[in-house]
Amino acid sequence: MIERAEIEALIPHGGAMVLLDRVVAHDEKSILCRTMSHRRADNPLRREQRLPTVAGAEFGAQAAAVHGALLAKGPMRPGRIVLLRAMRWTRRFLDDVQAPIDVRAESLRRDADNIAYGFVLTAEGDELLHGECGIILS
């Protein structure tokens, strides 16, 4: 397993903005991460003390970044989310989910300057959010 400190070294985020606690598994095509950051009061994506489920797209994007870094065997270049599509969520907020959230991301397309991933967030087998993200690397 890859833990939070190692994840922080792989992505261009730091401190509380590192939303993933560990990598549970990964292969050439996909990654499975787990987190409890949705329960943390210092989660920077909270608004008015709540964490909207749509903010989970950043969890998916971070899983994509970690996956890209693991494939490249080095830190991921900074990037910007330029596309979110096919988003569907089953609840308004994530902060009241008691269980760890699993974040699965699967590579859809990648080249030197762009990546696209499908992602799904689940807790105890229940789907919370799924969608796709496109990221342009700097």
- The CA–CA distances, whole Å, from 17 to 62, 110, 124 equal 10, 24, 24
Percent of all residues in the chain with a pLDDT value above 90, rounded to a whole number: 97
Q: How confident is the model at residue 112 (pLDDT cuts 50, 70, 90)?
A: confident
Per-residue model confidence (pLDDT) at position 23: 98
Statement: residue 19 has pLDDT above 90? yes
CATH at residue 82:
3.10.129.10
How many domains, the chain? 1
- The identity of residue 108, as a single letter, is L
Percent of all residues in the chain with a pLDDT value above 70, rounded to a whole number: 100
Q: Quick one: tokens of 7?
A: 């994840």
To the question of pTM greater than 0.85 for the whole model, the response is yes
Structural domain containing residue 28? 2-137
CA distance 7 to 57: 17
Statement: residue 31 has pLDDT above 90? yes
